[in-house]
Amino acid sequence: GVMEKLGLGPEVLLQENPRLVYARLTGFGQMGKYAKSAGHDINYLALSGVLSKLGRKGENPYAPVNLLADFAGGGVMCAMGIIVALYERTKSGKGQIVDASMVEGVAYLSSFLWKSQNIGLWNRPRGENLLDSGAPFYETYKTSDGKYMAVGAIEPQFYEQLIKGLGLDSNKLPSQLSFSDWPKMKKMFASIFAQKTQTEWCSIFDGTDACVTPVLSFDDAASHQHNKQRRSFIKNDQEEISPRPAPVLSRTPAVPSFARDPFIGEHTEEILLEYGFTKQEIAKLHSDKVIEFSKPKANL
């Protein structure tokens, strides 16, 4: 209801321009019991059902930072809704309102979990399934130098290469999908991974299809050979590292800016002046807390 209070709700603006695509991104959506309630990523994740699936056996469910509901179920799904509405407009000539709820967005994002419940992937308690840390071949393991390796050797041919790299004989081990042996196998794998450094394990598994990769810090990710070859990370003019825009388009790739990120509100006055607002009108908007300013600090 914030935009309605400003006189800028969709009904008003769509009368001005019926081709307008008006996106509304919220946690709980535009209607329903919680529509006007405050919340954060963890709350939307909880209400979607997805949070109940995240976490290790015997531990509380945990939210993976705020990536799932805020950015994936929220921002990305909202952007997709805008693109869909823009494409539909090429046929109808009309705009519409996009109601992007983070609860529904992250629930839809997790459709795989819902639709694979009856095929054996998620029929066990949290932390005991194939992809949620239950399987010894889909897990992270600590190395002798305190770093970690990520293992994702699901397919039998990949699993065989994992076993070979660990110096084990698959003929002397339980079946890969022997659920009752998974806890024992995880302990065995952990003890073996703990005997070598991350670099040593990389030298063993790089170039194989064992699906074993190092767990990299941000700094290490930016300097990793593969990422450097693809120029996956960029530096701005203040030497700050960030990911390059993705995905990469062949004909019209994104051209990232190498300037520092603007401060919140840094260009508010400048942009409003460009759009014809007077300094008095801008001052009134600021005093009414509709907009905010932020002047960058001098670098002395």
Helices first, then strands: H and E counts in the chain: 13, 7
Q: How far apart are CA 34 and CA 24, in angstroms?
A: 16
Q: How far apart are CA 22 and CA 10, in angstroms?
A: 6
| Catalytic residue IDs | 40, 70
What is the residue-wise DSSP string for 30-73?
Answer: SSSTTTT----HHHHHHHHT-GGG-S-TTS-----TTIIIIIII
Helical residues (DSSP H) of the chain, grouped into ranges: 2-5, 10-16, 41-48, 77-92, 102-109, 111-115, 156-165, 182-193, 198-205, 218-223, 225-230, 268-274, 279-287
Asked whether 17 and 104 are in contact (CB, 8 A), the reply is: no
- CA distance between the termini of the chain: 43
Bridge partners, residue 98, by sequence: 23
Name which of 74, 64, 67 is nearest 104 in CA terms.
Answer: 74
